[in-house]
A and B are shown apart, each in its own frame.
Chain A
Amino acid sequence: MLRIRNLKCFYGRIMAVKGISLSVGKGQIVTLIGANGAGKSTLLEAVCGLLPRWEGEILYEGDSLKGLDPPAIVRKGVSLVPEGRMIFPPMTVSDNLILGAYTMIRKKEDAAVKQDLERVMELFPILKDRYRQPAGTLSGGEQQMLAIGRALMSHPRLLLLDEPSMGLAPLIVEKIFQTLEMLRNEGMTILLVEQNARAALQIADRGYVFETGSIVLQGPAPDLLEDQEVKRAYLGKDYGGFYDH
């Protein structure tokens, strides 16, 4: 579905992503974990066209995404849930969702958009209660649900999520991750960038571990969960607790 080969991203003269390769199979959840500044978000921005300058190859369903602007990539079926949610605070929940279908309405598919709205509300019933409320008045978890709902409105086949668990209570994170699993079971392909490595690896099929712009580890998610290095660096177990056993 998505294949990245030797991707290099730059901010000015600084190389933030240093030639990484990865692939996401259809109907899989693949997670990228790693600390702050590892280049995970940069990679997502490159995939969805927000980052103008990168080298290497990004293939989506066999087509190169090089040179495409974000609207074109959204139309191809790739949708981003940005870091920090980035909803539109003064606008109502419904306006936020309808904006997600911006590329759809152009094709005069009003009825289909309405149906999608219903589907998103089914997924996140809380949004129905908040329908006419300004999005800025929602709680963090609700805003994250809104951001995911908004991304789903453009009918993506590949959903990119940038730290959906950021700043949320564990219970809400669990709920959101359950929803992601549900979407995967319906056939959605998901690329999940996370710092909350444990939660991400628990639902993922495959994982990649990022460190300062390179991939240091990769493999099936259950293996990574058991990996000593991952445990030490990302699952919050220090050397002491480790070697005493």
Chain B
Amino acid sequence: MRVQILYSFFILMVALAGHFISNAYYLQVLTFIGINTLLALGLNMLMGYAGQISLGHAAFYGIGAYATAILTVHFSWSPWLALPVAIAAAVMVAYIVGVPTLKLSGYYLGMGTLGFGMIINIIFREWSSVTGGASGFVGIPALSLGPVSFSSRQNYLYLVWGCVLLCIVLCRRIIDSRVGRALRAIHDGEKAAAAVGVDTQKLKLQVFVLSAGMSALAGFLYAHLVCFISPETFSFIMSIRMVTMVVIGGMASIWGSLLGASLLTLLPEWLHAFSEFEMVVYGLILMIVMIFLPKGLTRGILDIVERSRRSL
């Protein structure tokens, strides 16, 4: 019941935002928050719930974006046909990479995925005949569905947030199921999880593949929003930003992904005023959040609310 209210509130907010905000800049920022939420949500399933770190997730974001770019521009496919192929490509790569890598854990898994992310990024940059190389890929078509054109920023906002809502519902269902319990068990103790009969390897691989698919969806949406992609967007720094969104927002929290993605998208926008000190202030804010709310924004805010309620 409470969940239904949350969902309705969520839909209402998106609808209101789309209806009343006409400033193109604000709409764009909100759309980016949506795309980043998809990224954070996918990674949170892997990191927050299953407890497996990935420092190379920008690669899947990039694979989604480049796959749709190549198919729609070089092969003139419809983007809607390219979407499943883009997601399938990321899922397949995740599967191939995941089988050996997910046998690692902790720092070693971090290193493994980091290396993978770098390799993919180098491919984006160096395979110029296909990807456009370092100067980027231009001319990605805008989306449209029959009479509805998604080149209007309002419509794109609805599209992105519709995807976010779908993914939230999907993730919640997974988490509340038997599989979700098993994921958290892997997080708490892989050996103990195996001892109760959880197929830890298989489950880790499945959640890795799921989060790769969600990142690819975000990449698809990004490519058709901006219509221009370059390897820089999908570099190591992006992987780190994704991890930061998850940690700042709150591990193992769906709404935390939303909060973390919002903060990390909005901060650079707000901090333009500091001009050359922008990155300093940005880093400082992240440090302060981590020092005072070590469990992330969601848990931290909830704790503060509970404390003030108790002191009343």
Binding site for B on A (CB under 8 A): 48-50, 69-71, 74-75, 79-80, 82, 86-91, 95, 98-100, 102-103, 105-106, 150-151, 153-154
Among residues 168 to 206 in chain B, which have CB atoms less than 8 Å away from a CB atom of chain A?
Answer: 178, 181-182, 184-185, 188-189, 191-199
Tell me the complex Cα distance, A71–B195, Å: 7
In the complex, which residues of chain A have a beta carbon less than 8 angstroms from the beta carbon of B198? 71, 99, 102
In the complex, which residues of chain A have a beta carbon less than 8 angstroms from the beta carbon of B188? 88-91
What are the 6 tightest A-B residue pairs by CB atom distance, in nearest-first order?
A74-B197, A86-B192, A103-B197, A88-B188, A70-B194, A71-B197
Tell me the complex Cα distance, A80–B192, Å: 9
Interface pair B184/A100, CB less than 8 Å apart: no
Identify B191's interface contact among A74, A82, A87, A151, CB under 8 A. Answer: A82
Interface pair A102/B182, CB less than 8 Å apart: yes
Q: Nearest Cβ in chain B — how far from A83, in angstroms?
A: 10
Tell me the complex Cα distance, A197–B192, Å: 25
In the complex, which residues of chain B have a beta carbon less than 8 angstroms from the beta carbon of A49? 194
When A105-B178, A150-B196, A154-B196 are in contact, do A91 and B184 touch as well, CB less than 8 Å? yes
Q: Nearest Cβ in chain B — how far from A26, in angstroms?
A: 22
- With CB as the reference atom, state the residue of chain A lying closest to B188: A88
- With CB as the reference atom, state the residue of chain B lying closest to A90: B188
When A88-B184, A99-B185 are in contact, do A71 and B199 touch as well, CB less than 8 Å? yes
Q: Nearest Cβ in chain B — how far from A110, in angstroms?
A: 10
Q: Nearest Cβ in chain A — how far from B195, in angstroms?
A: 5
In the complex, which residues of chain A have a beta carbon less than 8 angstroms from the beta carbon of B192? 82, 86-88
**Extra inter-chain contacts (17) besides given A95-B181, A99-B181, CB under 8 Å:** A71-B197, A79-B196, A82-B191, A82-B195, A86-B189, A86-B191, A87-B192, A88-B184, A88-B185, A89-B188, A91-B181, A95-B184, A99-B182, A100-B196, A102-B198, A103-B197, A153-B196
In the complex, which residues of chain B have a beta carbon less than 8 angstroms from the beta carbon of A99? 181-182, 185, 193, 196, 198
Among residues 146 to 181 in chain B, which have CB atoms less than 8 Å away from a CB atom of chain A?
Answer: 178, 181
In the complex, which residues of chain B have a beta carbon less than 8 angstroms from the beta carbon of A102? 178, 181-182, 196-198
Instruction: Count CB-based A-B contacts (< 8 Å).
Output: 68
Interface pair B195/A88, CB less than 8 Å apart: no
Identify A69's interface contact among B181, B185, B189, B199, CB under 8 A. Answer: B199
Tell me the complex Cα distance, A89–B195, Å: 16
Tell me the complex Cα distance, A232–B193, Å: 38
Interface pair B194/A50, CB less than 8 Å apart: yes
Among residues 188 to 239 in chain B, which have CB atoms less than 8 Å away from a CB atom of chain A?
Answer: 188-189, 191-199
Tell me the complex Cα distance, A88–B191, Å: 11
When A102-B178, A105-B178 are in contact, do A70 and B185 touch as well, CB less than 8 Å? no
Number of residues from B at the complex interface, CB < 8 A: 16
Q: Nearest Cβ in chain A — how far from B251, in angstroms?
A: 11
When A90-B188, A91-B184, A91-B185 are in contact, do A80 and B178 touch as well, CB less than 8 Å? no
Q: Nearest Cβ in chain B — how far from A164, in angstroms?
A: 14
- With CB as the reference atom, state the residue of chain A lying closest to B177: A105
In the complex, which residues of chain A have a beta carbon less than 8 angstroms from the beta carbon of B185? 88, 91, 99
- With CB as the reference atom, state the residue of chain A lying closest to B182: A102
Interface pair B178/A50, CB less than 8 Å apart: no
Tell me the complex Cα distance, A133–B276, Å: 50
In the complex, which residues of chain A have a beta carbon less than 8 angstroms from the beta carbon of B191? 50, 82, 86
Among B178, B182, B191, B196, max chain A CB count under 10 A is at B196
Interface pair A50/B195, CB less than 8 Å apart: yes
In the complex, which residues of chain A have a beta carbon less than 8 angstroms from the beta carbon of B197? 70-71, 74-75, 102-103, 154
Tell me the complex Cα distance, A74–B195, Å: 8
Q: Nearest Cβ in chain B — how far from A23, in angstroms?
A: 23
Tell me the complex Cα distance, A1–B96, Å: 41
In the complex, which residues of chain B have a beta carbon less than 8 angstroms from the beta carbon of A89? 188
Tell me the complex Cα distance, A226–B198, Å: 42
In the complex, which residues of chain A have a beta carbon less than 8 angstroms from the beta carbon of B195? 48, 50, 70, 74, 79-80, 82, 86
In the complex, which residues of chain A have a beta carbon less than 8 angstroms from the beta carbon of B181? 91, 95, 98-99, 102
In the complex, which residues of chain B have a beta carbon less than 8 angstroms from the beta carbon of A69? 194, 199
In the complex, which residues of chain B have a beta carbon less than 8 angstroms from the beta carbon of A71? 194, 197-199
Tell me the complex Cα distance, A91–B139, Å: 50
Tell me the complex Cα distance, A153–B192, Å: 14
Q: Nearest Cβ in chain A — how far from B253, in angstroms?
A: 12
When A82-B191, A105-B178 are in contact, do A74 and B196 touch as well, CB less than 8 Å? yes
In the complex, per-residue mask of B105-134: 1 if CB is within 8 Å of any chain A CB, else 0: 000000000000000000000000000000
In the complex, which residues of chain B have a beta carbon less than 8 angstroms from the beta carbon of A74? 195-197
In the complex, which residues of chain A have a beta carbon less than 8 angstroms from the beta carbon of B196? 74, 79, 99-100, 102-103, 150-151, 153-154
Q: Nearest Cβ in chain B — how far from A60, in angstroms?
A: 15
Residue contacts A-B, CB under 8 angstroms, 9 given: A69-B194, A79-B195, A79-B196, A88-B188, A89-B188, A91-B181, A98-B178, A99-B196, A100-B196
In the complex, which residues of chain B have a beta carbon less than 8 angstroms from the beta carbon of A70? 194-195, 197
- With CB as the reference atom, state the residue of chain B lying closest to A98: B181
Q: Nearest Cβ in chain A — how far from B196, in angstroms?
A: 5
Tell me the complex Cα distance, A13–B188, Å: 29
Among A50, A79, A86, max chain B CB count under 10 A is at A86
